[in-house]
Amino acid sequence: MIEIKNLHKRFGKLQVLDGVSFQVEPGGIIAVLGPNGSGKTTILKTILGMVHPQMGEIYFQGNAVLDKWEYRNDIGYLPQIARFPDNLTVQELINMIKNIRDVEADETELVNRFDLKLSLNKKLGNLSGGTRQKVNIVLTFMFDCPLLILDEPTAGLDPVALIQLKELIQEEKQKGKTLLITTHIMSLVEDLSDQIIFLLEGKIYFQGSVEELQEQTQQTDLEHSIAKILQGDV
């Protein structure tokens, strides 16, 4: 599904990615973890073509995609912070995104699922942060994409919406889709992920299952495993 080879990215004097290489097979949930500034969001944005690396190769479904754009129609993306014009209504925004992408989409079930029916005619500027995040989730999942990239998808969600999101992610996995997720919520990773890619100082420190990381760090849960890595005890 995805192959990253020797990816390097520098912002000024800051080396964000330093020779990152990994492969992701089709199907399953992969959590991209690491401390702030480790390069998580940068990797996601290089896959999307939003950030151009100084060196490296990116392959999606067997094709080199650097400097190309057509492949993005096969990717659903939920950014960490999504900014849209405040004067648009929710329905106007949904229609606009559907027109821009010009691929088949159906938001009806998602609107009902996240209890947004009464918000469709409200302007985005009048919505709470949690409701805006629900709208962003609808925009991401309403397209039938084989790859979904979710950058901190739980931000601002109430417990009911969080449960709905977790169930939706599992359903997409059951359809054979691949999901890349960044999050600071370790319980979400333990509940959902099939594999972890842990970044540290722009390099991949670990790639494998939660259980393999716990065995490597000799800890009984993911949170303590991550803490032990960050403390330099592994």
pLDDT band at 17 (very low <50, low <70, confident <90, very high): very high
The pLDDT, as a whole number, for residue 136 is 95
pLDDT band at 231 (very low <50, low <70, confident <90, very high): confident
At residue 50, φ and ψ (nearest 5 deg) are -85, -20
**Integer Cα distance of 145 and 142 in angstroms:** 9
Is the pLDDT at 199 greater than 70? The verdict is: yes
pLDDT band at 31 (very low <50, low <70, confident <90, very high): very high
Across 145-155, average pLDDT: 94
Across 113-133, average pLDDT: 95
pLDDT band at 59 (very low <50, low <70, confident <90, very high): very high
With beta carbons less than 8 A apart as the criterion, state whether 203 and 20 touch.
yes
Comparing 184 with 19, the larger pLDDT belongs to 19
- Which domains can be identified in the chain, with CATH numbers? 2-230 (3.40.50.300)
The pLDDT, as a whole number, for residue 234 is 65
